[in-house]
């Protein structure tokens, strides 16, 4: 009986672009996508932080910001369709006459963490402080991180201290003794100025390679670690995955496709994370087949329906049978919910990676067989599950995968 149900559900060819669009918007609203609110004067390093965290190019970032209010814009990475992380950029903060009320009305509910950027040597911060107080008062439980940028302004021509002497949370553990006097004085100055307004201080220097620093992204990993730590648990996954993935991917095309895979997997997982005994199967299918089309396009191919079926069918049947068998688990609300979300995330992710491999082969003039395809996604599935479990230890074991 369950098998008939599974077969009935599974028909990715039936999912049209319009179906997907309608479902995407609903899913997006409840997907655990981190939203960072960047505040700081112009030239204080906001875009550099986005560039570091996403690996996106400066030009892509420039084009990707979509105006929201008179003074703010939103950058969805990798794109607004299936973002894995969103950045809100507020302009005009250091300028007299900026009024944060409009931005607050638009974003107060959405932003998970505020990142304030300040250059180490900048002392003219009255306007920034004034607006930050308003922002703090608007939601005082939301974490605020002070990113102190351009450290080397205090030691021009010299390299950064190596190894990195800063602790992850200097407010808790104190500034290291080894710091150069000027740097320490300036940092302590910021600490006092921002006391009570920020929860963490992270000194960074995110430079361009041509600036000649041995450590190009000085403090970058501390910043990532801090942000992951401060996000709500549900939102940590995508940022952590992004961090790991950017380090290991081999080809440029994979690097381009991969954020889309994460985005689609996150959306698919939120279709399976609804807090009732139910998985929004059509939405999961829509996210997956849509992803196949998009990866195809990145690889310069336009998959037809038969190909989408070939790529997704074996996987889909297996996934759906796992979901169906899990139905009883759903009686335990939280565990059940997480299990289905995890499973769906893993299957979608594996499908995406298998597609990259498939389209990559086709590009080289070789059309893989169904068996080869299955083998690739099975190994990717094991990998995806491992990653997910590493981040969320609550996920129960799945004997079908191990
Ligand atoms: N050396 C160094 N340069 C930085 C740092 N952050 C930003 N910059 C440089 O400062 C300029 C403005 O940075 P950007 O990130 O565009 O600032 P935004 O206007 O706040 O978005 C660019 O030329 C960056 O390369 C940093 O931490 N160290
Ligand atoms: Mg900028």
Average pLDDT over residues 342-364: 88
CA of 280 relative to ligand 2 center, distance in Å: 38
How many CB atoms sit inside 10 A of residue 85's CB? 25
Quote the CA–CA distance of 92 and 42 in Å, as a whole number.
7
90 lines ligand 1 (CB under 6 A): no
How many CB atoms sit inside 10 A of residue 377's CB? 25
Say which CATH architecture domain 33-231 belongs to. Answer: 3-Layer(aba) Sandwich (3.40)
Predicted structure pTM score: 0.83
Nearest alpha carbon, ligand 1 atom 9: 45
39 lines ligand 1 (CB under 6 A): no
CA of 149 relative to ligand 2 center, distance in Å: 13
Helix (H, G, I), strand (E, B) or coil at 39: strand
From the number of C-beta atoms within 10 Å of its C-beta (0-12, 13-18, 19+), residue 382 rates as middle
What does residue 23 show for φ and ψ, rounded to 5 degrees? Answer: -75, -35
150 lines ligand 1 (CB under 6 A): yes
Q: What are the sequence ranges of the domains in the chain?
A: 2-28+250-391, 33-231
89 lines ligand 1 (CB under 6 A): no
Average pLDDT over residues 329-345: 57
Tens-place pLDDT, residues 115-128: 999 999 999 999 99
Beta-carbon contacts of 7 under 8 Å, excluding residues fewer than 6 positions away, are 317
| DSSP state, residue 121 | T
Quote the CA–CA distance of 282 and 260 in Å, as a whole number.
19
Tens-place pLDDT, residues 124-167: 999 999 999 999 999 999 999 999 999 999 999 999 999 999 99
280 lines ligand 1 (CB under 6 A): no
**Which residues face 73 on adjacent strands?**
67, 89
Token pair recorded at residue 12? 């990715």
CA of 211 relative to ligand 1 center, distance in Å: 12
From the number of C-beta atoms within 10 Å of its C-beta (0-12, 13-18, 19+), residue 360 rates as middle
pLDDT value at residue 306 = 78
Average pLDDT over residues 342-370: 88
Nearest alpha carbon, ligand 1 atom 22: 43
Atom of ligand 1 nearest to the CA of 218: 27
Which ligand is closest in space to the CA of residue 122?
1
Residues with Cβ within 5 Å of ion ligand 2?
Answer: 46-47
pLDDT value at residue 323 = 64
Tens-place pLDDT, residues 94-117: 667 788 888 888 888 889 999 999
How many CB atoms sit inside 10 A of residue 106's CB? 15
149 lines ligand 1 (CB under 6 A): yes
Beta-carbon contacts of 217 under 8 Å, excluding residues fewer than 6 positions away, are 52, 204, 205, 206, 207
Atom of ligand 1 nearest to the CA of 153: 1
Token pair recorded at residue 32? 């655990």
Tens-place pLDDT, residues 245-290: 776 666 778 888 888 998 998 888 888 776 554 567 778 888 888 8
Q: Is the predicted pLDDT of residue 88 greater than 90, yes or no?
A: yes
Quote the CA–CA distance of 143 and 400 in Å, as a whole number.
40
161-175, 275-289, 377-391 — which one is most confidently predicted on average?
Answer: 161-175
Bridge-based pairing state of the strands 35-40 and 113-119 = parallel
């Amino acid at each position: 009986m369950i098998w008939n149900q599974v077969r009935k559900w599974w028909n990715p060819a039936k999912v049209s672009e319009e179906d997907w669009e309608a479902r995407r918007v609903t899913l997006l609203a409840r997907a655990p996508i981190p939203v960072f609110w960047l505040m700081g004067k112009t030239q204080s390093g906001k875009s550099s932080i986005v560039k570091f965290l996403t690996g996106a190019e400066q030009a892509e970032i420039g084009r990707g910001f979509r105006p929201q209010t008179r003074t703010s814009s939103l950058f969805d990475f990798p794109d607004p369709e299936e973002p894995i992380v969103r950045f809100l950029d507020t302009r005009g903060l250091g300028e007299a006459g900026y009024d944060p009320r409009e931005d607050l009305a638009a974003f107060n509910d959405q932003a998970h963490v505020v990142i304030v950027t300040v250059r180490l040597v900048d002392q003219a911060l009255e306007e920034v402080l004034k607006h930050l107080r308003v922002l703090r008062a608007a939601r005082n439980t939301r974490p605020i991180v002070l990113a102190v940028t351009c450290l080397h302004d205090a030691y021009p021509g010299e390299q950064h201290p190596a190894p990195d002497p800063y602790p992850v949370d200097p407010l808790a553990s104190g500034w290291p003794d080894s710091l150069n006097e000027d740097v320490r004085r300036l940092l302590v100055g910021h600490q006092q100025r921002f006391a009570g307004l920020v929860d963490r201080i992270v000194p960074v220097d995110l430079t361009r390679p041509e600036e000649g620093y041995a450590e190009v992204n000085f403090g970058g990993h501390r910043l990532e670690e801090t942000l992951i730590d401060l996000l709500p648990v549900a939102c940590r996954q995508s940022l952590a995955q992004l961090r790991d993935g950017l380090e290991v991917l081999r080809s440029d095309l994979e690097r381009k496709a991969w954020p889309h895979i994460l985005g689609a997997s996150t959306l698919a997982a939120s279709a399976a994370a609804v807090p009732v005994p139910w998985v929004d199967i059509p939405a999961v299918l829509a996210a997956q087949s849509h992803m196949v089309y998009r990866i195809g396009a990145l690889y310069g191919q336009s998959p037809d329906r038969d190909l989408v079926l070939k790529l997704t069918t074996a996987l889909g049947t297996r996934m759906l049978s796992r979901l169906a068998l899990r139905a009883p688990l759903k009686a335990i609300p939280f565990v059940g919910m997480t299990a289905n979300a995890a499973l769906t995330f893993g299957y979608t992710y594996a499908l995406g990676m298998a597609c990259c491999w498939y389209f990559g082969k086709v590009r080289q003039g070789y059309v893989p067989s169904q068996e080869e395809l299955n083998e690739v996604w099975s190994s990717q599935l094991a990998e995806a599950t491992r990653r997910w479990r590493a981040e969320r230890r609550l996920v129960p074991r799945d004997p079908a995968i191990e």
